[in-house]
Amino acid sequence: MAENINQIRPWRTINRRKCRQIRVGHVPVGGDAPIAVQSMTNTVTHDVAATVAQIQRLEEAGADIVRISCPDPESSAALKDIVREVSVPIVADIHFHYKRGIEAAENGAACLRINPGNIGGRSRIREVVAAARDQGCSIRIGVNGGSLERELLDKYGEPCPEAMVESALMHGRMLQDEGFYEYKISVKASDVFLTVAAYHQLADATDAPLHLGVTEAGGRRIGTVKSSIGMGSLLWAGIGDTIRVSLSDDPVEEIRVGFDMLKSLGLRTRGVNIISCPSCARQGFDVIRTVQILEDRLAHISEPISLSIIGCVVNGPGEAMFTDIGFTGGSAGYGMMYAVGRKTGKTCNETMIEDIVIRVEERAALLRSLR
């Protein structure tokens, strides 16, 4: 029942905005492609070993795309060695020095992220576009509320949705004037209201794929909250084709939060989705500790599996009806295990974590065998 829930409950369906599709390496973005989840490295790029190691950790977490900064010639040169060691497409982040974009394209970047506010004039953009076309790169036009062009700030008086969208569309036209349409756009700000308003305006004004993000969102807790409110509301409205959760934290956490966000909306189903209660005096076991352990023990699983961990029988059996695996606490040192909504027998609290892990891994193996 859980696997077909969107078909039997149409009010859960999200109608995604129609847009053209581009490619970032082997990853399609836009159109009917799955919403891609990406992050960005925080290593020194020309430290190839450290950068590759971090990218590989992001790949293991499920990253579809990884962005790396290319602030100097050493970094753009290092791309040639980095892309040979990883499977995920690499986006080169370019600011101020347009030549870094040309070098990055020549050294294997799958996409160039350029900031219209600081990359230079039309002639420099033309050179970057020529390099991207020659090397089969796509481009992301990345507009940030904190680095808008001076003339737009003078015109509008402050960063606002209209200024951000005008900047994005102006630079989109520059690319189209060069006959280049393999681009996506982002209009990010650290203010949730500004970000959401800008994306809504942009979505109505272009058919380009949109990369979502609330930039400089903060640490793990507040950054997750801000990103979930802003990006979640946009995704719920059908807006967004690729996302990056910007956290002052381990980049792997950005990938995890990104997939959790998409799982919550039924847009991607990678990994184990744990449904758990906050616990109370009725709990038959330590719910909080159990969930913390299970999140760690099951983090390696990529197959879409739903797991309910409920402390008592008030909501436990009902939640278990709609999950692949379920455990509901009792009051005598044991609980009831469920599989696809059916009781499978009692499990004592001392062994329940191991039993749950075994059941989930068996479910994952079954799903892999059916591919």
* Strands 334-339, 325-329: pairing kind: antiparallel
Q: Is residue 204 one of the residues assigned to a domain? A: yes
Q: Along the 371 residues of the chain, how does pLDDT read in single tens digits? A: 344 444 556 667 789 999 999 999 999 999 999 999 999 999 999 999 999 999 999 999 999 999 999 999 999 999 999 999 999 999 999 987 889 999 999 999 999 998 766 777 788 888 999 999 999 999 999 998 888 888 999 999 999 999 999 999 999 999 999 999 999 999 999 999 999 999 999 999 999 999 999 998 889 999 999 999 999 999 999 999 999 999 999 999 999 999 999 999 989 988 899 999 998 888 999 999 999 999 999 988 989 999 999 999 888 888 888 899 999 998 788 999 999 989 999 999 999 999 999 999 999 999 999 87
Tally of domains in the chain: 2
Question: Where a domain ends, among 264, 288, 316?
Answer: 264
Q: Is residue 11 one of the residues assigned to a domain? A: no
Rounded to two decimals, the pTM is 0.88
Supply angle C-alpha 63, 19, 210, rounded to 5: 45
Please indicate, yes or no, whether residues 201 and 136 belong to a single structural domain of this protein.
yes
Please indicate, yes or no, whether residues 361 and 233 belong to a single structural domain of this protein.
no
Please indicate, yes or no, whether residues 293 and 247 belong to a single structural domain of this protein.
no
Closest CA to 209 of 245, 177, 168, 170: 168
The residue segments making up the domain with residue 84 are 18-264
Is 305 exposed, middle or buried (CB count within 10 Å of its CB: 0-12, 13-18, 19+)?
Answer: buried
pLDDT confidence of residue 115: 79
Give the HSE-up count for residue 202: Cα atoms under 13 Å, Cβ half-sphere.
34
Identify the CATH number of the domain in which residue 249 sits: 3.20.20.20
Calpha distance 363→371 (Å, rounded):
13
Please indicate, yes or no, whether residues 258 and 352 belong to a single structural domain of this protein.
no
Question: Where a domain ends, among 237, 264, 291?
Answer: 264
Helix axes 161-177, 122-135, angle to 10 degrees: 60
* Identity at 1, one-letter amino acid code: M
- The secondary structure of 15-26 as a DSSP string is -PPP---EEETT
Q: Is residue 121 one of the residues assigned to a domain? A: yes
Phi and psi (nearest 5°) for 64? Answer: -85, -35
Please indicate, yes or no, whether residues 250 and 312 belong to a single structural domain of this protein.
no
Question: Where a domain ends, among 264, 286, 302?
Answer: 264
Q: Is residue 5 one of the residues assigned to a domain? A: no
Please indicate, yes or no, whether residues 243 and 276 belong to a single structural domain of this protein.
no
